[in-house]
Structure 1
Amino acid sequence: MRSGLAEDRGGPAPAESKALTPEPPPRALTPRALGMGSAIGAVMCLSNLYVGLKTGLAFPVALISCVVGLGAWRALARVRGSAAGSGLSLVETSAMQSTASSAGYSTGGTIVSASVAWLMLAGQHPPGWALFLWTLVVSALGVLFAVPLQRAFLRREPLTFPTGLAAAAAARTLHSGGEEGRQGARVLGLAALGAALLALARDGLKLLPTSLALPGAVGGVPLASLSFSLETGLLPLGAGALVGLRIGASLLLGAVACFGVLVPWLHTRGAITEPGFMGALGWSMWPGAALVTSASFTHLFLQRGAVRRSFAALLGRERASEALPPSAEVPRGWLLAGMAVLSAATVVLGAYAFGIPPHLGLLGVALSFALAVVACRVTGETDVTPSGPLGQVAQLAFGALMPGNTLANTAAASLSGTTAAASADLLTDVKAGSLLGALPRQTFLAQLWGCLIGSIVIVPAFLLLVPDTSALSEERFPAPGGLFVAGVAQVLASGLGALSEAARWGSLAGALVGVALALLEQRASESLRRFLPSAVALGLAFAIPASLSLSMFLGALAAALLARSRPAFALVAMVPLAAGLIAGESLVSLCVALFEALGGAR
């Protein structure tokens, strides 16, 4: 208790009152924190939608929301003076960040993959109300899945969750109100402005090309045809700066191995008839998915004890010795009731709108929890959530249980992919919140609110941007994630024997490499581990254009060089710089795309 309490009450406080009267938790879920988080989450939700349709990637929002939110609040305070009130506290910042992260990331992961795949296969979208409810219910279910996993991955075996650590550090730096915070805000604004102007010149005014082709050829195939080019946008550079040099170098290594070596070689042998990116993706998605999935499950197998404790915690059979006070935790009653309601809603929606029989819907919910464990594990270590590959694991299971039903297959991918992303995002936010003084219960509630906001924003925007299959093209929205899911569904409907020989051998090789890298990473020393390629990044490089991998590597390299040459400046400015590049370009490009979509509709 505070020492001044006795004087405030006008008399001495009994000694036992210190033990009997609990300290009330600081207020985190204030209207201004939730409002600012909702606004930022809506903006970043649209940004990730655009980036996902273009590249198949989605970027976590936890770090970006801290920088953008505190910078925006300070700008509002300067403009409106006292009307803006006092600055956000650290726990309010945590609530704002959790809301924005959930809205901007958790709800959109499979919109650009499984929902696109549904459109490709069915020729039309499911009813808008069904897509909205599915997005909301499944993302909220993923948040609930993560609650018992906190004990396994944040307390007994505290994983890094790099974005969570960085978000907390950024919040503390910007919250200090010193020159560092002002410098970060200036860098953020200038980076966003520069990226926005460049995107406007390229996408809106058509004054610049989207990429600059690299000269040369491999095996008689021009590098430009193999998707090796320099992106004229700044967004991939910002993304590379955020993921770091190890991930960036792994992406480049994967791109060179896939599109610089294997694809030209297979083309000369006739296994790939069209060596361009979209043509090569029909083969490259198989070794890429096998690599990521096998590495993830190898990590899971090596951590069997953590998985056992996770299920034990879910059932309430084991409590951590460092358990928090009951007022800090998510009540067990909330968890069980929420699980029951949302699981039932998932089963009903799956049966009514997506053609999944109820008993298989229950199986899908159980499988999604197991895959959420994998997602949290991988995210905690690598800061990359393999929600797409884990969705394909669900596709494989439903392909065996419901052969020939491609649409139910894509719904299963959406279920597992969305819950995996939402679970990993909650643990990232809890990691950040614990360092800022927020309670897990507060983070949990902010996350659920963000699921609602994100669902309200992303579903109408997606239906507007992609009204039909004509919007899916290499020039407009390639949506490689959707192509991947649709391809898996079609192959499973025809049987695994329909895979080409090259795809079967590629899948086997990818699986072996994933297992080997996971084992090496587990047994290597800390000094050696940072030089090992990331299996997740290697696999992702097989499913995105080589130009994007190259640009992200260049961004990561530039960030590493800046950190070495000017460490003090990089510590303050790197995250705002990267966040500004991503937000500025994606939002302007999105507005241009929405304007064109509305013009086409008229």
Structure 2
Amino acid sequence: MGAARDEAEAAPASIEAETPPRAGTPPSALTPRALVLGSLIGALMCLSNLYVGLKTGLAFPAALIACVVGLGVQRSLLRLSASRFGPLLSLQETSAMQSAASSAGYSTGGTIVTASVAWLLLAGQHPPVWALLAWTLLSSALGVVLALPMQRAFIRHEPLPFPSGMAAASVARSLHAGDASGRQGARALGVGALGAGLVALARDGFQLIPVALSLPGALLGVPLSELTFSVELMLLPLGTGAIVGVRTGASLLLGALVCFGGFAPWLLARGDIAETGYYGIIKWSMWPGAALVMSASFTHLALQRGLLRRTFGSLLGARRAPGELPEAADVPRSWFLSGVALLTLGLVTVGAVAFGIPFPLGLLGVLLSFALAAVACRATGETDMTPSGTLGHVAQLAFGGLMPGNVLANTVAASLSGNIAASSADLLTDVKAGSLLGVAPRQTFLAQLWGCLVGSALIVPVFYLLVPDTSAISEERFPAPPGFIVAAVARVLSSGLSGLNEAARWGALVGALLGVTLVLLERFAPEPARRFIPSPIGLGIAFVLPASTSLSVFLGAVAAALLARSRPALADAATVPLASGLIVGESLVSLAVLLVLSASS
């Protein structure tokens, strides 16, 4: 699904054929310039993913994008001064740069856009800065450490493809070759970032253009603008659509039409929804949206009965043979044991002191997170999709039974497993890319930990600046749909469905049934019909996004599909870089404007 996954599907044959022999110790990748550039790109991607997550609820595994953006930036620096910034990073340095950037840009964000927003919505205020910073750093770092035994199971013992890792290695080779495709991709990245940045500056900085243009007309007497239908003058959702693909984009549009164009005006006319506008409608729509996403995710996981068996079978079967010597490039066993002990102690202490999670339940949460992280790594290796949100909800349900009524601790529990799962899967994706480029697993591990430190140190203070209080969670600024879903589930686990009005209860029931039905159709419908079945996750997210955002994502997906059909060679070279440029350019400029305005006020 999407251009990045298409790239991954094309990568394996060419990569495996070019993989260097593993004789001897791989060359050093952890050079200062690789880590500095990785930190810079990781910081940019961390802020970009934070902004995109708060705006749309979507986040992108950053391995492929980090590789494209990092090498694009260095090529630009080389043009400015070849003597100061040259020579071009080696393939091994590129892998370390990508690992640090990917970790900083992706692994640290799950806590922020889910549990932190949910905590703010439920408590009315933020947790202490030190607590959120420590929780984010320790959980992402523990995810990296817990993935160490899984790399032997899922990369050596049973080599899974990890498509994004293979695609990142393929792109690195292509850009290093300096061929026409690589130069074309670098230009597309620059054009996308520059164009989106200028639009964001004109809109948010100088207010020369509006944020959106309202659509004329009404449905059942309700103006379309009050049903969140408008044309957004933003390029970021277009880039998002180009990456997620047509099926997800069309599912978002369908969900928006059903929710905001169908149910919302009908329920407003009946009096079941009291207010128009995004936050008037979402008080109802979050319930069918959350139920749809959760039921679809759990059904998908339940249908993969072999996934759990293969996961833990591989872990148990991947022990080192009696006569097999450890590779010198491996992470020492003592690092794993001491890392697990220290990080677990730190996490359960922070959980008990700051978030009200009893010490024994904190230990149980870490054990549960290890099992869920193994499932996430297996799923990522096979499908390139990390079900971190689903696994976070599994932990949320478990802690809801163990700590009934404690809604705040319940939101933190969701972030623990989700963040650890995302961080573990990201490490194995980068290890896969590094192994294809001749990089030692130990060096990838260290680069990944460095990225966790950089991302955590940046994302928490910026989140507090962007979202100082609940007023920032709004349709115009940050809808933050994942936080709404986590908060809604926590409320239900605390008080049960009896606390909802009739319309919300029926919406939740219909959403749950629809999620199960769509996943079963995806699995068992005839092959020609499957591509016409909407994505249940896309439909559910559309219920908690403004309709204007879903429309923009759909338009971006259609534009990428038309380019792929009319100019396939250009699409292969330019779609991912151009889309990455649109996302990074607009999010960073908009973030800078918001930070300046926040500081001045």
Fold shared, TM-score > 0.5 on shorter chain = yes
- The one-letter amino acid paired with 1:500 is N
Contact 1:148-1:313 within 8 A present in 2 as well: no
Summarize the Cα distance change of 1:531–1:150 in structure 2 as closer, same or farther, 3 Å threshold: farther
Q: Which residue of 1 aligns with 2:420?
A: 419
Contact 1:255-1:542 within 8 A present in 2 as well: yes
Q: Which residue of 1 aligns with 2:29?
A: 28
Deviation string, structure 1 residues 151-178 (Cα, Å, up to 9, x no partner):
6665777666554344333222211112
- The one-letter amino acid paired with 1:428 is T
Query: What is the DSSP-based 3-state SS (H/G/I as helix, E as strand, rest coil) of the residue aligned with 1:207?
Result: coil
Contact 1:119-1:469 within 8 A present in 2 as well: yes
* CA RMSD after TM alignment: 2.9
Summarize the Cα distance change of 1:470–1:524 in structure 2 as closer, same or farther, 3 Å threshold: closer
Contact 2:475-2:546 within 8 A present in 1 as well: no
- The one-letter amino acid paired with 2:115 is A
Offset of residue 361 of structure 1: 1.0
- Which segment is superposed worse, 251-260 or 158-167? 158-167
Summarize the Cα distance change of 1:294–1:485 in structure 2 as closer, same or farther, 3 Å threshold: closer
- Which segment is superposed worse, 146-155 or 547-556? 146-155
Q: Which residue of 2 aligns with 1:586?
A: 587
Deviation string, structure 1 residues 434-468 (Cα, Å, up to 9, x no partner):
44343444333222211111011111111222233
Q: Which residue of 1 aligns with 2:79?
A: 78
Query: What is the DSSP-based 3-state SS (H/G/I as helix, E as strand, rest coil) of the residue aligned with 2:225?
Result: coil
Deviation string, structure 1 residues 572-592 (Cα, Å, up to 9, x no partner):
111111111111111110011
Summarize the Cα distance change of 1:263–1:370 in structure 2 as closer, same or farther, 3 Å threshold: farther
Offset of residue 528 of structure 1: 5.1
- The one-letter amino acid paired with 2:212 is S
In structure 2, C-alpha distance between the alignment counterparts of 1:162 and 1:212, rounded to whole Å: 39
Query: What is the DSSP-based 3-state SS (H/G/I as helix, E as strand, rest coil) of the residue aligned with 1:225?
Result: helix
Deviation string, structure 1 residues 479-526 (Cα, Å, up to 9, x no partner):
333333333333433334213333333333333333333334344576
In structure 1, C-alpha distance between the alignment counterparts of 2:503 and 2:59, rounded to whole Å: 29
- The one-letter amino acid paired with 2:418 is G
Query: What is the DSSP-based 3-state SS (H/G/I as helix, E as strand, rest coil) of the residue aligned with 1:57?
Result: coil
Q: Does 1:301 align with 2:302?
A: yes
Contact 1:376-1:424 within 8 A present in 2 as well: yes
Deviation string, structure 1 residues 216-274 (Cα, Å, up to 9, x no partner):
33333333222222210100101111111222222222222322223333333333223
Offset of residue 386 of structure 1: 4.5
Q: Which residue of 1 aligns with 2:10?
A: none
Summarize the Cα distance change of 1:164–1:270 in structure 2 as closer, same or farther, 3 Å threshold: farther
- The one-letter amino acid paired with 2:208 is L
Q: Which residue of 2 aligns with 1:265?
A: 266
In structure 1, C-alpha distance between the alignment counterparts of 2:314 and 2:202, rounded to whole Å: 54
Q: Does 1:221 align with 2:230?
A: no
Counterparts of residues 152-171 of structure 1 (less than 5 Å): 161-171=162-172
Contact 1:300-1:377 within 8 A present in 2 as well: no
Q: Any unmatched runs of 5+ in structure 2?
A: 1-21
Summarize the Cα distance change of 1:519–1:492 in structure 2 as closer, same or farther, 3 Å threshold: closer
Offset of residue 383 of structure 1: 5.0
Offset of residue 307 of structure 1: 1.8
Contact 1:255-1:546 within 8 A present in 2 as well: yes
Counterparts of residues 435-474 of structure 1 (less than 5 Å): 435-474=436-475
Offset of residue 25 of structure 1: 1.3
Summarize the Cα distance change of 1:197–1:24 in structure 2 as closer, same or farther, 3 Å threshold: same
In structure 2, C-alpha distance between the alignment counterparts of 1:454 and 1:107, rounded to whole Å: 6
Q: Which residue of 2 aligns with 1:400?
A: 401
Summarize the Cα distance change of 1:198–1:148 in structure 2 as closer, same or farther, 3 Å threshold: same
In structure 1, C-alpha distance between the alignment counterparts of 2:554 and 2:522, rounded to whole Å: 21
Query: What is the DSSP-based 3-state SS (H/G/I as helix, E as strand, rest coil) of the residue aligned with 1:230?
Result: strand
Contact 1:240-1:552 within 8 A present in 2 as well: yes
Counterparts of residues 168-567 of structure 1 (less than 5 Å): 168-314=169-315, 326-327=327-328, 329-376=330-377, 379=380, 385-523=386-524, 529-567=530-568
Contact 1:98-1:446 within 8 A present in 2 as well: yes
In structure 1, C-alpha distance between the alignment counterparts of 2:132 and 2:565, rounded to whole Å: 47
Q: Which residue of 2 aligns with 1:16?
A: none
Q: Which residue of 2 aligns with 1:18?
A: none
Q: Normalising by the residue count of structure 2, what TM-score does the alignment of the two structures yield? A: 0.88
In structure 2, C-alpha distance between the alignment counterparts of 1:382 and 1:270, rounded to whole Å: 44
Contact 1:295-1:517 within 8 A present in 2 as well: yes
Summarize the Cα distance change of 1:202–1:296 in structure 2 as closer, same or farther, 3 Å threshold: same
Contact 1:296-1:378 within 8 A present in 2 as well: no
Q: Does 1:46 align with 2:37?
A: no
- The one-letter amino acid paired with 1:499 is L
- Which segment is superposed worse, 348-357 or 425-434? 425-434
Q: Does 1:96 align with 2:92?
A: no
Q: Any unmatched runs of 5+ in structure 1?
A: 1-20
Offset of residue 594 of structure 1: 0.1
Counterparts of residues 122-141 of structure 1 (less than 5 Å): 122-141=123-142
Contact 1:151-1:310 within 8 A present in 2 as well: no
- The total of aligned residue pairs comes to 579
In structure 2, C-alpha distance between the alignment counterparts of 1:74 and 1:468, rounded to whole Å: 41
Offset of residue 298 of structure 1: 2.8
Query: What is the DSSP-based 3-state SS (H/G/I as helix, E as strand, rest coil) of the residue aligned with 1:111?
Result: helix
Offset of residue 90 of structure 1: 2.0
Offset of residue 74 of structure 1: 1.6
Offset of residue 529 of structure 1: 4.3
Q: Which residue of 2 aligns with 1:117?
A: 118
In structure 2, C-alpha distance between the alignment counterparts of 1:595 and 1:263, rounded to whole Å: 37
In structure 2, C-alpha distance between the alignment counterparts of 1:547 and 1:157, rounded to whole Å: 44
In structure 2, C-alpha distance between the alignment counterparts of 1:268 and 1:158, rounded to whole Å: 57
Contact 1:114-1:413 within 8 A present in 2 as well: yes
Identity among equivalent pairs (%) = 70
Summarize the Cα distance change of 1:554–1:394 in structure 2 as closer, same or farther, 3 Å threshold: same
Contact 2:290-2:488 within 8 A present in 1 as well: no
Summarize the Cα distance change of 1:23–1:52 in structure 2 as closer, same or farther, 3 Å threshold: same
Offset of residue 54 of structure 1: 2.7
- The one-letter amino acid paired with 2:495 is S
In structure 2, C-alpha distance between the alignment counterparts of 1:543 and 1:152, rounded to whole Å: 38
Contact 2:308-2:375 within 8 A present in 1 as well: no
Deviation string, structure 1 residues 178-237 (Cα, Å, up to 9, x no partner):
232222222211211111111011111111111122233333333322222221010010
- Which segment is superposed worse, 73-82 or 480-489? 480-489
Q: Which residue of 2 aligns with 1:9?
A: none
In structure 1, C-alpha distance between the alignment counterparts of 2:376 and 2:530, rounded to whole Å: 20
- Which segment is superposed worse, 202-211 or 519-528? 519-528
- Which segment is superposed worse, 358-367 or 493-502? 493-502
In structure 1, C-alpha distance between the alignment counterparts of 2:330 and 2:476, rounded to whole Å: 48
Offset of residue 349 of structure 1: 1.0
In structure 2, C-alpha distance between the alignment counterparts of 1:517 and 1:319, rounded to whole Å: 42
- The one-letter amino acid paired with 1:173 is S
Q: Normalising by the residue count of structure 1, what TM-score does the alignment of the two structures yield? A: 0.88
- Which segment is superposed worse, 203-212 or 533-542? 533-542
Query: What is the DSSP-based 3-state SS (H/G/I as helix, E as strand, rest coil) of the residue aligned with 1:206?
Result: coil
Contact 1:146-1:427 within 8 A present in 2 as well: yes
In structure 2, C-alpha distance between the alignment counterparts of 1:254 and 1:382, rounded to whole Å: 24
Query: What is the DSSP-based 3-state SS (H/G/I as helix, E as strand, rest coil) of the residue aligned with 1:212?
Result: strand
In structure 1, C-alpha distance between the alignment counterparts of 2:177 and 2:445, rounded to whole Å: 26
In structure 2, C-alpha distance between the alignment counterparts of 1:503 and 1:38, rounded to whole Å: 45
In structure 1, C-alpha distance between the alignment counterparts of 2:434 and 2:220, rounded to whole Å: 52
- The one-letter amino acid paired with 1:250 is S
